[in-house]
């Protein structure tokens, strides 16, 4: 019987139980409780391991509530590994110490590719000396999750001990807290997983962490309750796991990835990459981005790719863990005093540093939003000197008690603007000064307003020069009208010199006007005029995005253009019509309608059309109707490095041809596009029977439905 049918059968019995129409003898209750546990854990497996739930959260809660009622009605039915025991037991006085039967060693670090190559060469030499191995060893690379390491011990398939890493030799017994984490199975194998024999005793090692999205919600909840918030997801995970009251831990959104095994009484796979699949089969979530390599250059490309892509993840990583794949090779290489020779952690460049907050200034955005910005003593973070950082909004500053003069922690996340994370309160001298949002716009002097249900303040003056400068910069940006040569400094110059009063004025600039400006020679002026002329022919979605309508980003602009063939058609839409579009909510719909109601904006649209700017949808901007393209309506998943297309280019081409791009493989996936060094998505596609294609086949499917990728 499949899981869905088993669920429906149990739901029918549960309905009778909860409605009071069914009568159960003790033996029947015991059988139903056992079946409920199996079904609930099977759904946990699909949710946390496969990321492919079959039922809604509400249906899951009904099943769990039924099991609680059964266990309450029939004392003795409750078992230590029941899903109902994840609510947390009685508070503890202290944590007992646990000695690890095999030490949980730390890892050597490699801070650049030269050090990573040197580690690999040491492994090669060591294997040649110990085993006479000549061929380069395969390695498994895994994302280094920034969380708390734990060891989970199972006896006869039941979780009996959960312990923190501690000093590697001795940790703390946090079993009762670990039991509250739904991603960790209380009994293995989980129904729906493997049918292989479970070792009589098995220690599974992994990382407990909190997703970034869950971290924000947790901090918001704590702040609303007047409780102390956490500085970052790792601290939140550690603090939540070490609560003496397991009931508190049960309220925290802890997650888990398994990545290794410790002592085992039984048989496990012979290599790391196979072990991860085996652990998934038992019911443990493992990170989906692990990959196996036999080529060092491919490994380095993997590390480089994730150094730039880590911000796309919903959890923090701080590097890549690389392990010699074969366990026999690992044993031959051995360990030094506190770290294995067969593994290394490639660490990403640091993205946090401390420096002094010299001042807080406010800037005016293109929509009139007022943003506080930190002026910092320059500090080097991740190879970049940072002297300014965002403070988001007034509430962000006040809730964290960030003061002028504080020593602060600054974080630089990829290409995102650096942000002040928190003050170092212990470093205060008493000279620090609290800050409050000014009452008037720093650019035009008009009073600021805080809109209902928003954290931001706005300058609502239509003639505010700072707003217009930011709008010009945005309009000329790469994702909007892509006017090469028109950056922030030139936007300021053109507005301050009185050459631009509306966006349409860009298209009436003359060579003589530009040559009269400081720094403009004839070549630069002609190049700028040519770029402005070229922008007249951009797709309509670029123009809609470039207009700077509040809440309308690049993706929303594309959605709108897919449903409205011209700017005039969009201007005539009402809130109800816009809300009917999937992905457009009331806030966005009302913002669009309000923008077109402003007389100056309607005049701008007319002027743009008069100077020759395209205001109609171009061919290919709307997704093809079903049947027009073999890609339309199909779901694609990309894995590995493609020969000629970047990941972004491939995604854009698929979407413009009417296809969808997903981040994980499921039975609903139509194609997995596999490039060089594919990851676990490739293996999952094979297991599910999903069709796997290469770049050449993808391009053939796209056919003439798309032109060159947008730049």
pLDDT tens profile 13-46: 777 665 665 566 778 778 888 888 888 888 877 7
DSSP line for 516-550: TSTT--HHHHHHHHHHHHHGGGS-HHHHHHHTT-T
At 5 the pLDDT is 79
At 21 the pLDDT is 56
Range list of H helices, 547-585: 554-563, 567-571, 575-579
Tokens of 10: 């149990």
Q: Calculate mean pLDDT across residues 428-443.
A: 93
Same domain, 253 and 201: yes
We report the CATH number of the domain holding residue 515 as 1.10.150.20
pLDDT band at 90 (very low <50, low <70, confident <90, very high): low
Question: Which among 13, 97, 128, 144 is annotated as catalytic?
Answer: 144
Q: Which of 298, 326, 347 finishes a domain? A: 347
Rg (C-alpha) for the chain, rounded Å, is: 29
Residue 616 lies in a domain: no
Residue 628 lies in a domain: no
Tokens of 90: 């009685």
pLDDT at position 193 over 70: no
SS3 state of residue 411? strand
- Residue 164's DSSP bridge partners are 150
Same domain, 532 and 553: no
pLDDT tens profile 266-287: 999 999 999 999 999 999 999 9
Residue 693 lies in a domain: yes
Active site residue 660: no
Residue 223 lies in a domain: yes
pLDDT band at 415 (very low <50, low <70, confident <90, very high): very low
**What pairing do the DSSP bridges indicate for beta strands 419-423 and 97-99?**
unpaired
Q: Calculate mean pLDDT across residues 617-645.
A: 75
Same domain, 172 and 307: yes
We report the CATH number of the domain holding residue 75 as 1.10.287.610
Tokens of 158: 């039941």
DSSP line for 582-624: TT--HHHHHHHHHHHHSHHHHHHHHHHHHTT---BPPTTSSPP
Same domain, 606 and 489: no
Q: What are phi and psi of 391, to 5 degrees?
A: -120, 10
At 479 the pLDDT is 87
pLDDT at position 145 over 70: yes
Q: Which of 65, 87, 109 finishes a domain? A: 87
Same domain, 550 and 588: yes
Same domain, 531 and 551: no
Residue 97 lies in a domain: no
We report the CATH number of the domain holding residue 667 as 3.40.50.10190
Q: Are 525 and 514 in contact (CB under 8 A)?
A: yes
Same domain, 382 and 304: no
Residue written as tokens 């500085």? Answer: 231
pLDDT at position 710 over 50: no
Residue 246 lies in a domain: yes
Dist. CA 615–CA 504, nearest whole Å: 13
Return the DSSP state at 24: -
We report the CATH number of the domain holding residue 141 as 3.30.470.30
Same domain, 245 and 373: no
pLDDT band at 205 (very low <50, low <70, confident <90, very high): very high
Q: Residue 13's domain spans which residues?
A: 3-87
At 708 the pLDDT is 33
Q: 269-274: list long-range contacts, CB under 8 Å, 24+ apart.
A: 270/326, 270/327, 270/328, 271/138, 271/140, 271/325, 271/326, 271/327, 272/140, 272/323, 272/324, 272/325, 272/327, 273/138, 273/140, 273/325
Q: Are 387 and 450 in contact (CB under 8 A)?
A: no
Give the strands of the sheet with 254-265, arranged side by side: 158-164, 148-155, 201-210, 254-265
Dist. CA 655–CA 614, nearest whole Å: 22
φ/ψ region of 132 (left if φ > 0, alpha if ψ in -120 to 50, else beta) reads left
Same domain, 21 and 70: yes
pLDDT tens profile 226-269: 888 887 888 899 999 989 898 999 999 999 999 999 999 999 99
Residue 458 lies in a domain: no
Same domain, 487 and 554: no
Same domain, 606 and 646: no
Element (H, E) at 297: helix 296-309
Q: Which residue has better confidence, 709 or 435? A: 435
pTM of the predicted model, to two decimals? 0.54
Could you tell me which residues come within 8 angstroms of residue 704 by beta carbon, excluding any fewer than 6 positions away?
none
Average pLDDT value for the chain: 86
Residue 407 lies in a domain: yes
Domain count across the chain: 6
- Residue 208's DSSP bridge partners are 148, 256
pLDDT band at 580 (very low <50, low <70, confident <90, very high): confident
We report the CATH number of the domain holding residue 385 as 2.40.50.140
Could you tell me which residues come within 8 angstroms of residue 68 by beta carbon, excluding any fewer than 6 positions away?
84
Q: Are 681 and 639 in contact (CB under 8 A)?
A: yes
Q: Which of 425, 450, 475 finishes a domain? A: 450
pLDDT tens profile 322-354: 999 999 999 999 988 678 999 999 988 767 788
Q: Peptide bond before 189: cis, by omega within 30 degrees of 0?
A: yes
Same domain, 372 and 477: no
At 350 the pLDDT is 66
Of the chain, the percentage scoring pLDDT greater than 90 comes to 48
pLDDT band at 546 (very low <50, low <70, confident <90, very high): very high
């Amino acid at each position: 019987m499949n899981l869905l049918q088993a669920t429906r059968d149990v739901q029918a019995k549960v309905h009778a139980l909860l409605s009071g129409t069914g009568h159960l003898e003790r033996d029947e209750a015991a059988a139903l409780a056992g079946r409920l546990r199996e079904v609930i854990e099977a759904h946990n497996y699909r949710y946390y391991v496969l990321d492919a739930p079959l039922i809604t959260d509400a249906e899951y809660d009904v099943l769990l509530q039924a099991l609680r009622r059964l266990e309450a009605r029939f004392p003795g039915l409750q078992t230590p590994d029941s899903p109902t025991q994840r609510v947390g037991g009685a508070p503890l006085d202290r944590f007992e110490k646990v000695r690890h039967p095999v030490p949980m060693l730390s890892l050597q670090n490699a801070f650049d590719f030269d050090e990573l190559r040197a580690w690999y060469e040491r492994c090669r030499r060591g294997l040649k000396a110990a085993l006479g191995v000549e061929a380069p060893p395969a390695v498994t690379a895994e994302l280094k999750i920034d969380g708390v390491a734990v060891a989970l011990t199972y006896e006869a398939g039941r979780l009996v001990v959960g312990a923190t890493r501690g000093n590697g030799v001795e940790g703390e017994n946090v079993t009762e807290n670990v039991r509250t984490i739904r991603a960790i199975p209380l009994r293995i194998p989980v129904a729906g997983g493997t049918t292989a024999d479970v070792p009589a005793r098995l220690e599974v090692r992994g990382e407990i962490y909190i997703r970034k999205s869950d971290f924000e919600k947790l901090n918001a909840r704590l702040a609303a309750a007047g409780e102390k918030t956490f500085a970052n997801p790792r601290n939140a995970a550690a603090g939540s796991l070490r609560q003496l009251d397991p009931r508190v831990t049960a309220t925290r959104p802890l997650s888990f990835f398994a990545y290794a095994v410790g002592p085992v009484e039984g048989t496990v796979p012979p290599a790391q990459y196979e072990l991860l699949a085996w652990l998934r089969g038992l019911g443990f979530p493992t990170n989906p981005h692990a990959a196996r390599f036999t080529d060092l250059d491919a490994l380095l490309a993997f590390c480089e790719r994730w150094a730039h892509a880590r911000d796309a993840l919903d959890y923090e990583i701080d590097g890549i863990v690389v392990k010699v794949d074969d366990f026999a090779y690992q044993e031959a290489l051995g360990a030094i005093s506190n770290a294995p020779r067969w593994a290394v952690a490639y660490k990403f460049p640091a993205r946090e540093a401390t420096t002094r907050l010299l001042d807080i200034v406010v800037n005016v955005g293109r929509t009139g939003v007022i943003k506080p910005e930190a002026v910092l003593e320059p500090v080097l973070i991740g190879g970049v000197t940072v002297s300014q950082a965002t403070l988001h909004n007034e509430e962000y500053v006040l809730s964290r008690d960030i003061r002028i003069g504080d020593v602060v922690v600054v974080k630089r996340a990829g290409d995102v603007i650096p942000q002040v994370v928190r003050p170092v309160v212990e470093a205060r001298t008493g000279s620090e000064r609290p800050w409050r949002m000014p009452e008037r716009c720093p650019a035009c002097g008009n009073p600021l307003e805080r809109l209902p249900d928003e954290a931001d303040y706005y300058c609502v003056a239509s003639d505010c020069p700072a707003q217009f400068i930011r709008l010009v910069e945005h309009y000329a940006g790469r994702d909007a009208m892509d006017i090469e040569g028109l950056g922030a400094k030139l936007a300021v110059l053109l507005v301050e010199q009185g050459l631009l009063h509306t966006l349409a004025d860009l298209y009436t600039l003359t060579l003589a006007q530009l040559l009269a400006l400081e720094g403009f020679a004839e070549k630069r002026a002609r190049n700028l005029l040519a770029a402005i002329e070229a922008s007249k022919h951009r797709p309509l979605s670029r123009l809609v995005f470039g207009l700077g309508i509040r809440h309308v980003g690049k993706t929303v602009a594309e959605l709108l253009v897919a449903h409205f063939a011209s700017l005039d058609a969009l201007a005539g839409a009402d809130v109800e019509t816009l809300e009917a579009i999937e992905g457009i909510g009331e806030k966005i719909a009302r913002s669009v309608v309000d923008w077109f109601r402003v007389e100056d904006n309607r005049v701008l649209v007319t002027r743009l059309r008069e100077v020759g700017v395209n205001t109609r949808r171009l061919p290919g901007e709307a997704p093809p109707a079903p049947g027009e393209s073999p890609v339309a309506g199909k779901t694609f998943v990309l894995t590995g490095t493609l020969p000629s297309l970047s990941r972004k280019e491939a995604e854009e081409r698929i979407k413009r041809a009417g296809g969808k791009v997903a981040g994980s493989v499921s039975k609903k996936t139509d194609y997995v596009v596999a490039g060089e060094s594919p990851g676990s998505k490739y293996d999952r596609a094979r297991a599910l029977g999903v069709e796997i294609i290469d770049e050449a086949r993808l391009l053939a499917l796209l056919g003439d439905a798309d032109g060159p990728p947008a730049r």
